[in-house]
Amino acid sequence: MANLYQYDDMVALSTLSINRNVLEDTIPNEVKEKLNQLVDDLESGVFPAFSISSRDEDIVGLHLLVENWKKNFKNLIVIGVGGSSLGAQALVNFKGKFAKNSMDIYFLDNVDPTTVDGLIQNLPLTETVVLSVSKSGSTLETMAQTLLFFEAFKVQGLPVENHIVGLTENKTNTLRNFLESHNIPILNHPEGVGGRFTVLTLVGLIPAIVAGVDAVKIRQGALSVLESFLNSPYQSDSFYGALLSVYLSEEKNIQYMMPYSDRLRKFSEWFVQLWAESLGKDGVGTTPVSAVGSTDQHSALQLLMDGPKDKLVTLIVPDSFDEGSQISSELANQVGIEHLKGLNLGKLIYHQAQGTADALTAAGVPVRTFYTQKLTEEVLGALIMHFMLETAVAGVLFDVNTWDQPGVEEGKKRTLEYLMTSHNEKKAPV
């Protein structure tokens, strides 16, 4: 498969007056040994979140499930938080707001009562199916919302076993026990895959297939990057991307992810969780921020240009050069804007990305850029795998456990304590 994107960090390195050899010289020998172990583990399939990209036999069953839903329902509600939702959102968002032949998809990734009650009260539940996703089967938000929809289906006299499907680990847990007791079908969450790394598994692919995304091509794009990495890990874009981020982490501890496409808006949000939850531990890590071009040229760009020089900026620039409708030359003349004559929006947003990169570089802000082919499933899959690998490598360089999230678990524990000890009390005096 031809290169789906071109990674350019040379401008960033030039801005900082360093080169890749300097970066590589900062890696201690013991860290190099851990990097070698990571590469060996990826090659031998220790991490199924990565190796699943080489498979496609499971996708046939997912299509059968989705086809059955489309015959019987108009609405899909995906209940899940964090990694149980963001990867799927990134894939669905890629298809765009006007995807054809898709059910209406609603992601419930928060327990805001207005949103949840609004769906229950306004959607025709006879035409609605719920996918309830929780790896552990004990996620409080997922359980709460699942119970609310269970009750809503019951109140309307609908068979819950036809309207709810669970997705959780194949072991005893709260969600599985509840669903089994009501004969509700359950799909098995992939073993050994943390939520934020599940985008290439059925967790991400089921909603994506509903939206019309080609799941096989997503994995093919991802596999092309994984194979390239395994062929020459220390010359790979993912390695150099991680090395740059970690090397700059004390001085540039905020990382902006800014794709120039609405179809990558949720991808940017997925990256924020992937990077933050994987690497923010033991007092290290950098703060990822989600942005989108050209929208945030009119907000965050001012801070990036003239604010503290504590940021690394990542731009993703798809080849949109010949996309979009053309602006009438006659109308452009009427408003007196010569350079809009015959211009299509794809060319406009592409040049906005170029202009932003140049302006940031001139202001001394390190910018790295991904120039991609036209946005396809293969390109999206390639970007997903790149940043999964970059995160895994950065975890070794930071010397943290990339795969856990102890801070998240502590927050869950304290929430539970409030619910158990002060169920009817408000904390704030309002």
Work out the angle at residue 221's Cα, subtended by the Cα atoms of residues 237 and 269, and round it to the nearest 5 degrees.
70
Report d(CA 343, CA 80) in Å as an integer. 42
Q: Is 298 a catalytic residue?
A: yes
DSSP string across 195-244? GGG-TTSHHHHHHHHHTT--HHHHHHHHHHHHHHHHHSGGGSHHHHHHHH
**Sign of the alpha-carbon dihedral angle for 118, 123, 125, 127:** negative
97, 298, 423, 427: the catalytic one is: 298
Nearest to 348 by CA among 286, 228, 260, 248: 260
Work out the angle at residue 335's Cα, subtended by the Cα atoms of residues 333 and 336, and round it to the nearest 5 degrees.
60
141, 169, 269, 277: the catalytic one is: 277
Q: Is 277 a catalytic residue?
A: yes
- Tokens at 40, concatenated: 């060996």
Task: Say if residue 34 is exposed, middle or buried (CB neighbours under 10 Å; 0-12, 13-18, 19+).
Answer: middle
Please state the φ and ψ torsions of residue 151, each to the nearest 5 degrees: -65, -40
For 315: left if phi > 0, alpha if psi spans -120 to 50, otherwise beta; the answer is beta
Give CA 274 to chain center in angstroms: 7
Please state the φ and ψ torsions of residue 315, each to the nearest 5 degrees: -105, 135
Sheet harboring 128-133: ordered strands across?
104-108, 75-79, 128-133, 164-168, 186-188
- The contacts of residue 292 (CB under 8 Å, 6+ apart) are 258, 259, 260, 261, 262, 264, 265, 268
Compute CA distances 155 → 41, 126, 162, whole Å.
Answer: 50, 12, 15
Report d(CA 391, CA 93) in Å as an integer. 22
Cβ distance 56 to 216 under 8 Å? yes
Cβ distance 19 to 189 under 8 Å? no
Report d(CA 12, CA 28) in Å as an integer. 23
70, 74, 347, 412: the catalytic one is: 412
**Sign of the alpha-carbon dihedral angle for 23, 25, 31, 34:** positive
Nearest to 107 by CA among 126, 133, 125: 133
Report d(CA 396, CA 40) in Å as an integer. 13
Which residues are annotated as catalytic? 277, 298, 412
